[in-house]
Amino acid sequence: MNRIPTTLIDGKTGRPVKALLLDNLTVAEINEVEKQWVIHRREGATRLHKLGLAVPEHWRWDWTEKSEKLKLLAYRSLGIKCGNTLQGLMMISTGVRTARMEPDTGKPIVYIEYLESAPWNVKPIVDEPQYRGVGIRLFEAAVRLSFSEEFNGRIGLHSLRQAERFYAEKCGMTAIGPDAKFQNLNYFELTREQAQEFLSEEETS
């Protein structure tokens, strides 16, 4: 497993902190994370209900079930570690799906199956997230992986409603529209031009 240096933002100080991107998590590692996260999700759900707020849509996910896909060669899982704890998980597939947007329609993409930040990093589950920037660092990793696979940065995903603004505004993806074959979730795609622009902005931020 490669351990690639990256940074997150400390939720208290607002300063960058060192973190590690892990690019090939095992089933056992993911299952252990789920055991930790499910406790915090339950506590967070109780808090949100008391505040009259909606529970995040992705909280119905169970990474122990999703990790079964890692037995297939096209799937891999990445994570970000900081403070000796995994702060976020992402599962991607390579070459399983193809681009829908020009000029690369029909060419392979890196598809983001799932992306989740640890519960203690998500507002309003907590008043003050421990770390910020988990989602964007994982997305950046997917874009760089797309380049390494010679997919020219092409990314695709189906977004939960609550995450649509993140993918459109923070990641610069294009919303293609609801996909009737995928629970009517909005499908987003990142073209090769958008990928270059995204990485350029991240490198100068």
The CATH code belonging to domain 3-204 is 3.40.630.30
Cβ-based neighbours of 45, under 8 Å, separated by 6 or more: 55, 59
Backbone torsions φ then ψ of 146, nearest 5 degrees: -60, -40
Cα–Cα distance for residue pair 138/166, rounded to 1 Å: 13
Residue 167 is predicted with a pLDDT of: 98
pLDDT bracket for residue 34 (50, 70, 90):
very high
- pLDDT higher than threshold 70 for residue 115: yes
* Interstrand relation of 75-82 and 85-98 (parallel, antiparallel or unpaired): antiparallel
Cα–Cα distance for residue pair 5/159, rounded to 1 Å: 27
Q: Token pair 């169970």 is at which residue?
A: 62
| Span 76-82, average pLDDT | 96
Distance of CA 92 to the CA centre of its chain: 9
| Contact predicate 100/39, CB 8 Å | no
User: pLDDT tens, 94-112?
Assistant: 989 999 999 999 999 999 9
Residue 160 is predicted with a pLDDT of: 94
The least confident of 2-16, 29-43, 53-67, 186-200 is 53-67
List the domain boundaries for the chain.
3-204
- Going from the C-alpha of 3 to that of each of 24, 40, 74, the distances in angstroms are 9, 26, 20
Six-digit token pair at 74?
A: 């096209």
- pLDDT higher than threshold 80 for residue 1: no
